[in-house]
Amino acid sequence: MHVSDEKDLGRKSLFDNKPLHGAEATLSGFEHVNRYWDRAASVVVAKILPGEFYVTRNPEVIATTLGSCVSACLWDEVNGIGGMNHFMLPLTDVEASKVTWGNIVSDATRYGNYAMEHLINEMLKNGAARRNLRAKVFGGGKVLNQRNDVGRKNADFVLLYLHQEQIELVAQDLGDVYPRKVLFDPLTGKARVKKIRSMHNDTIINRERDYQQSIGTKPVEGDIELF
């Protein structure tokens, strides 16, 4: 996506005047996350899949594509750190003692309660202060033709979680029937969301069934909003 595609909401673009910082190392434990150089935007992009999350102090962008899944974008602008998760289901009753995380993401982080816990804990471990945390949340679309609206459950969960943890919610774009592509600047909290209004029907379904596969379908039509 190019900056010229954005709606003019009177805000500086997420990608304006980004320096070339492609060489910074990731924080320990996040080496597995796919990172690439976006030539058009002149920025490093870390792309996360369902069940993954990413925390960074680098001037880079975190990206993902959401169907019924939800991503919470958290940042501490004071200490210069932020991160994003991508979870598929709201809750699991897996015992905490069985949940491990390191260089390989645990399957438990597919679930909202563990995805949120790990994201927050990794941010705090790397210098964030809980009192400074702010959040923006995206996703939860009803993209599957099923009676059970998993997207709504995911959305309801993340809103309740942030309320209970007393983390300020700055913006949200939840629900509807469209998948979304999300780009998040973890140092400033700026986010850009593109609703994907036309794509192959099985793309999001396959991606959410198997979070090891990445999106390969190029959207035909969409619109972009800043949050």
d(CA 74, CA 220): 30
Tell me the CATH number at 222. 3.30.1330.200
Please report where in the chains the tokens 């007393």 appear, as a residue.
Answer: 166
pLDDT of 187 higher than 80: yes
Taking residues 200-212, report their average pLDDT.
55
SS (H, E, C) 49-94: CCCCEEEECCCCEEEEEECCCEEEEEEECCCCEEEEECECECCCCC
Helix residue spans in the chain (DSSP H):
112-125, 150-164, 202-209
Q: Kindly state whether residue 71 falls inside one of the protein's structural domains.
A: yes
Q: What is the pLDDT of residue 121?
A: 95
* pLDDT single digits (tens) 119-152: 999 999 999 999 999 999 999 998 866 667 888 9
Percent of the chain with pLDDT over 90: 53
Domain of residue 217 covers 3-14+29-226
The single-letter DSSP state of residue 168 is: E
Q: Kindly state whether residue 20 falls inside one of the protein's structural domains.
A: no
Q: Kindly state whether residue 213 falls inside one of the protein's structural domains.
A: yes
